[in-house]
Each structure stands twice: as C-alpha cells, then as structure tokens.
Amino acid sequence: MKNIQHKVFFAGLLAWLFFACSPRTVVTGTWKSPEADRMYERVFVAALVDDLRLRSEVEQEFATRFANRDVETVKSLNSIQPDFFDEEELSQEKLLAVVRQTGSEAIMTVRLLDINEEERFVPGGVMGPRFAPMGFGHYGTFGGYWNHWYGNAWNTGYVSVDKTYVLETNLYDAESLALVYSAQSETLNPSDMQEFAEVYVDKLKASLREEGLIQ
C-alpha cells in the first residue's frame, strides 16, 4: 500500500515540477523617451550580473536574437574582462572609451533588481473527476479505483517556495548617453539559465520592436 502511495505522490510531484520550474517571464512596465526617434543597428550589451555563466547566456542570446533583426551586437564579455567592474575606482569615461571603440550606437544594460520569495501550500487530495459511472475513468476496474483514490488519500500536500526575479533593462544612446528606453520584467522560478535567457530576450526584443528602437 505504501508503494502505491509513494508512486502517486511522486508522479504528481514530478508533474508539478515540470510546469512550475519552467520560467515564466512578463514585462511589467516600459518607458520610452519622447525624444527617441531612431532605430539602432549596433548595440553594446552588458549584463551586469555576478554570475559569469548567466552573463554569458544573456549576452549571447541577445546577439543571436538581434541578428535575426539585422542588428549587430557587441557583447561586453568580448570587450571587457570579467573583473572589469570589480575595480574600486571604475570611471564612466573608462567604460565609455571601451564602448565607443566598438562603434556601438547604443548601450544596453541588464541588471538584477530583486529576488522575491513567497511560500505557498500545494494541497494534496483527489485529482480528476470526483464521480465517474461504471465503465468510465478510474471506476473501470477495482484496481484502478483503489490505486487512484487510496493513493490520493495519502497525498496531504507540501509547501513550495516560488522565486520571482525582477530585472531592469535600460537602453542608452551611445553618443548623447541619454536614456531612451527602460523596462522591468519578472521571471518566475527560473531553473535553467539558457531557457531563462531565451524567454527573457524574446520578451525584450518584442518590446523594443514595438517601440520602434530596432527593426
């Protein structure tokens, strides 16, 4: 009986993990300067995060997705050493000198603003229809009935922690240094960096296109 209980519980848990761990990204707000009146064709992208792998994934994903819109991308990892931002007296002029050497028309920065955690209780109990006449569903055989109802009777639920990552994306004109676009996004339960980067960049690319800042 315990084996039946365990099988049902872990099957439900694995199904929940499959969906819950898939990152869901939404752009929660955007702003565009009323003076922004051009499209950019060469963008310097800098993911200002401590995790080197995540920085690489995000910058590479921007490079790949922007290329589909005929936008050239300069990744900060190709122009700036990983410890560049660790300098105690890092000046704006030093950073801009590096950016302008690449011939970039705009500077895009991505940074993590916050990580919000929230606990929630996932109830157990009965899954599926509560009543199925003879010959249908779990009532087809006594074994099917017993495995379903007895197993679920032991599934009392569990506590899950949802993590929401809040990111800010800014786009600056490389010549005037004016902020031309800003967006905030939220991603729920990212577990795979590559998948997160793909979903996140797709959302931002769509928003930039809608605002007329890239093709």
Question: The domain spanning residue 185 has which CATH number?
Answer: 3.40.50
In a domain, 215, yes or no: no
In a domain, 140, yes or no: no
Alpha carbon 185 to its chain's center:
8
Of 70, 77, 68, 69, give the one whose Cα is nearest residue 44. 77
Higher pLDDT, 148 or 21: 148
Residues 183-209: what's their mean pLDDT? 91
Alpha helices in 91-132 (DSSP H): 92-101
Instruction: Quote the domain boundaries for residue 34.
Output: 2-120+158-210
Judge whether residue 65 has pLDDT over 70. yes
In a domain, 127, yes or no: no
Concatenated DSSP letters for 53-100? HHHHHHHHHHHHHHHTTT-EEEEHHHHS-TTGGG-TT--HHHHHHHHH
In a domain, 87, yes or no: yes
Q: How confident is the model at residue 155 (pLDDT cuts 50, 70, 90)?
A: low
Residue 181: what pLDDT?
A: 97
Write down how long the chain is.
Answer: 215
Q: How many domains does the chain have?
A: 1
Q: How confident is the model at residue 158 (pLDDT cuts 50, 70, 90)?
A: confident
In a domain, 96, yes or no: yes
In a domain, 139, yes or no: no
The dihedral sign for the CA sequence 31, 35, 39, 44: negative
Q: Is the pTM of this model over 0.85?
A: no
The string of pLDDT tens digits covering residues 104-115 is: 999 999 999 999
Judge whether residue 1 has pLDDT over 70. no
In a domain, 129, yes or no: no
In a domain, 134, yes or no: no
Judge whether residue 85 has pLDDT over 80. no
CA separation, residue 197 to residues 2, 99, 126, 202 (Å) = 41, 23, 36, 8
Q: Check residue 24 and report its DSSP letter.
A: E
Residues 72-101: what's their mean pLDDT? 76
